[in-house]
Structure 1
Amino acid sequence: MFIETEATPNPATLKFLPGQEVMYAGTREFTSPEAAEASPLAQALFDLGEVTGVLFGRDFVSVTAAPGVSWAALKPQVVAMLLDHFVSGAPLFAQGTAGAISVAPEDDTDFGDDPADAEIVAQIRDLIETRVRPAVANDGGDIVYRGFREGVVYLSMQGACSGCPSSAATLKNGIESLLKHYVPEVSEVRAA
C-alpha cells in the first residue's frame, strides 16, 4: 500500500490519500483529543502530541500539526500510523460510539432556517454540495452549512480550511460570489 501526501493551502495541514475509501459518506472532524476518542485512528494521531486536528473525508485524511511543529519530523509518523491502520483493516470508529455514524453536513445546522426560506435554502445547499464541497475537499477540507438568516449564509470551514490563511478570501471572494450570482437573496457569507 502507498499513501500519497498533498500540500494544502494551509501550511499547518497535510492531506493524506490512502488510495481507498476512508468514509462512506460525509466527513468527520476531530479538533481535540477528547473528540478523537470516537476513532482509534484519530486518537492515535492525537497521541503523537503534535496533532491539533484530523478530518476524515471520502478518500483522504487531513492532519493539522500544532504551531511550530515541523512536518519533516511528523509526516513519517503520520504515514506509518495510516499505513498500519489501513493495512490492518481496523475500524475507523470505536464500536458503540456516536462517532461511528457520519452526520451529513446538511443535517448539522446551528439554528433552524425559516420555513418561508425553504426554496432559497435548498438552492444554497445544492450549490454548496455540488460546487463548493468538491473544490474544498480537493484542498483537504470541508465546508458545513450552518444556516441562512436575513440574507446571510453561515458556513463552517473544517480540516485544512479551518484556520487557513486564505479561508476568509475563499469565503468572501469565492463562495460568497458564487452564491450571490445564483441566489440573489444571498447578501453575505459569514464564518460560523
Structure 2
Amino acid sequence: MFIETETTPNPATLKFLPGQQVMAAGTREFASPEDAAASPLAEALFDLGEVTAVFLGRDFISVTAAPGVSWAALKPQVVAMLLDHFVSGAPLFTPGDASAIAVPGEAEEDFGEDPADADIVAQIRELIETRVRPAVANDGGDIVYRGFREGVVYLSMHGACSGCPSSTATLKNGIESLLKHYVPEVTEVRAA
C-alpha cells in the first residue's frame, strides 16, 4: 500500500490519500482529542501530540499540525499510522458510534428558511453539491450548506478549509460569485 500526500491551501494541513475509500458516506471532523474518541484512527493521530485536527473525507484524511510543528518530522509518523490502520483493516469508528457518518451542518442552527424559497434553496444546494464541494474536497476539506435567509447563504467550512487563511477569499470571491451568477436572489455568502 502506498499513501500519497498533497499540500492544501492551509499550510498547517496536509491531505493524505490512502488509495481507497475512507468514508462510505458523509464526512467527519475531529477538532479535539475528546472528539476523536469516536475513531481509533483519529485518536491515534491526536496521540502524536502535534495534531490539532483530523478530517475524514470520502477518499482522503486531512491532518492539521499544531502551530510551529514541522511537517518534515510529523509527516512520516502520520503516514506510518495510516499505513498500519489501513493494512490491518481496523475499524474507522468505535463500534456502536452513532455519529460515524455524521455530515457537518446537520442538526445545527435553524436559519428560518422561508418555504416560498424552496426552489431557490434547491438551486443553491445543487450548485454546492455539484460544483463547490468537489473543488473544496480537492483541497482537503468540505463545505456544508447551512441555510438561506433574505438573500444570504450560510455555509460552514470543515477540514483543511476551516482554518485556512484563504477561506474568506474562497467564500467571497469564489463561492459567492458563483452563486450570485446562477441564482440572482443570492446577495451574499457568509460563514456560519
Pick the TM interval, shorter chain. over 0.9
Match of 2:185 in 1: 185
Percent identity, aligned pairs only? Answer: 84
* Cα distance in 2 between the residues matched to 1:90 and 1:158: 25
1:110 equivalenced with 2:91 (yes/no): no
Match of 1:152 in 2: 152
- Once superposed, which parts of structure 1, at least 4 consecutive aligned residues long, lie more than 3 Å away? 104-109
1:165 equivalenced with 2:165 (yes/no): yes
- After TM superposition, the structure 1 = structure 2 runs for residues 1-192 of structure 1, keeping only pairs within 5 Å, are 1-100=1-100, 102-104=101-103, 107-111=106-110, 112-192=112-192
Contact conserved, 1:41 with 1:85, CA < 8 A, in 2?
yes
Contact conserved, 1:12 with 1:67, CA < 8 A, in 2?
yes
- The amino acid across from 2:117 in the alignment is D
Deviation at residue 146 of structure 1 after TM alignment:
1.1
Decide whether aligned partners of structure 1 residues 164 and 137 sit closer, same or farther in structure 2, where only a CA change above 3 A counts. same
Deviation at residue 155 of structure 1 after TM alignment:
0.6
* Cα distance in 2 between the residues matched to 1:107 and 1:69: 32
- The amino acid across from 2:10 in the alignment is N
Residues 76-95 of structure 1: per-residue CA shift (max 9 Å, x gap) = 11000000000000110001
Q: CA RMSD in A?
A: 1.2
TM-score, scaled relative to structure 1? 0.96
Contact conserved, 2:20 with 2:59, CA < 8 A, in 1?
yes
Note the residue ranges of structure 2 that are not aligned, 5 or more in a row.
none
In the comparison of the two structures, how many residue pairs are matched? 191
Contact conserved, 1:106 with 1:125, CA < 8 A, in 2?
no
Note the residue ranges of structure 1 that are not aligned, 5 or more in a row.
none
